[in-house]
Amino acid sequence: MVAKIIDGRDLANSQKQQLAEKVTLFVKKYGIVPSLHVILAGDYPSSQIYVRNKQRACQVVGIESVLHQFPGSTTQSEIEQLIEKLNLDDSVNGILVQLPLPSQLNSQRILEKINPLKDVDGLHPYNLGRLLMNKPLLAPCTPQGCLQLIKTVYDTVESKNVVVVGRSILVGRSLAVLLTNENATVTLAHSKTKNLKDVCKTADILIAAIGSSEFLTSDYVKPGAVVIDVGINRIDVGGVHVLKGDVHQPSVEKVAGYLTPVPGGVGPMTISNLLLNTLKAVELQKF
Ligand code: NDP
């Protein structure tokens, strides 16, 4: 068996096309250009790449993006003061804090400062609580993207056995809630899970959000399973940086039914969902 590739770039591009049309109509009807403000602190090279990609994507669909850049030595109050200002500004629709923040900053407190209706990353406790109650307003972007990728294979995840490996709020834990809300039977695995291989092999849908390059080999995969690889690991191969997922693609593609590549799988979907959330945020604020 050779797994079919689920092309995240293609799906994200068609989402962006539809979104661009919606934004155009929105601007015509209400005279409002949706606006996303991104806060970037420090000089992590990958954060700078992510932010650049997000800003480019905004441009493609007609969303205004504004970057607020801080040095690595910035203080908690500088960031919090900016967020307070952006919260009060009606022309600002989305606020995104690029993570990770420099270590002297309290990320959780910063995320909690954001007005939940402008929280386009969906990481404010209010939005996470709404997700938990199955009444989501703005849900985290990567989990939404994973669900959309799965739905290119199955119309519904109802009654499917799903194993999510990794329990961060940003990805694994939120995704487990999202899938549970969609009536999947979800196992949330992590570093303390026993017999991880056996657990993973029960999955009709296996999701890797671990942060460990090529960790999940074919030994973890049930034949025919849908495998979603969230991982983005920058690996030095002979002085050149290459991106690897959490899934060992060469072996898994011989066993899985469907597989998302890295790059070109979940990554583009995270960005398109950020844009979708930004338009949703405008609607929540205005209507
Ligand atoms: P975290 O480091 O926050 O979480 C990693 C999770 O993996 C933890 O729950 C940890 O378990 C679990 N884990 C680590 N080692 C093992 C192991 N040996 N066996 C089982 N579980 C293990 O990472 P994130 O969730 O933020 O990110 C995960 C990956 O996804 C990263 O590669 C990241 O770059 C990528 N990512 C990709 C995005 C995209 O758009 N494609 C967006 C966000 C992240 P425990 O809790 O027990 O420590």
Catalytic residue numbers? 54, 98, 121
Segments of the chain scoring below 70 in pLDDT: none
How much is the pTM? 0.98
pLDDT score, position 287: 85
Residue 48 is predicted with a pLDDT of 94
- Nearest-angstrom CA–CA distance, 110 and 119: 11
- 282 in contact with ligand 1, CB cutoff 6 A: no
| 232 CA → ligand 1 middle, Å | 9
- Per-residue pLDDT tens for 101-122? 999 999 999 999 999 999 999 9
The CA R_g of the chain, rounded to the nearest whole Å, is 19
Instruction: Tally Cβ neighbours within 10 Å of residue 260.
Output: 30
Task: Pick the atom of ligand 1 nearest to 190's CA.
Answer: 21
Establish whether residue 175 lines the binding site of ligand 1, counting it when its CB lies within 6 angstroms of any ligand atom: no
Cβ of 39 below 6 Å from ligand 1? no
Whole-Å CA distances, 237 to 8, 210, 262: 25, 21, 16
Does the beta carbon of 209 lie inside 6 Å of ligand 1?
yes
Give yes or no for a contact between 271 and 12, defined as CB atoms under 8 angstroms apart.
Answer: yes
pLDDT attached to residue 1 = 76
Residue 275 and residue 61: Cα distance in Å, rounded?
A: 8
Place of tokens 């009536």: 183
* Residue located via tokens 């993207």: 145
Contact by Cβ (8 Å): 93, 282: yes
pLDDT digits (tens, 9 = 90+) for 17-70: 999 999 999 999 999 999 999 999 999 989 999 999 999 999 999 999 999 999
Q: Residue 47 is which amino acid?
A: S
Residues of the chain with CATH 3.40.50.720: 141-266
Name the residue of 174, 190, 215 whose CB sits within 8 Å of the most ligand 1 atoms, as the mutation to test its pocket: 190
User: What's the confidence (pLDDT) of residue 84?
Assistant: 98
Domain with CATH 3.40.50.10860 in the chain: 32-116
**What number does CATH give the domain 141-266?**
3.40.50.720
Got the DSSP string for 110-147? Answer: HHHHS-GGGBTT--SHHHHHHHHTT--SS--HHHHHHH
- DSSP, res 101: P
Element (H, E) at 276: helix 266-286
Beta bridge partners of 185: 161
Query: Is residue 194 in contact with ligand 1, taking CB distance under 6 Å?
Result: no
Which string of DSSP letters, residue by residue, matches 217-274?
-GGG--TT-EEEE---EEEEETTEEEEE-SB-HHHHTTT-SEE--SSSSHHHHHHHHH
In CATH terms, the superfamily for domain 32-116 is Leucine Dehydrogenase, chain A, domain 1 (3.40.50.10860)
Closest-CA residue, ligand 1 atom 12, reads 166
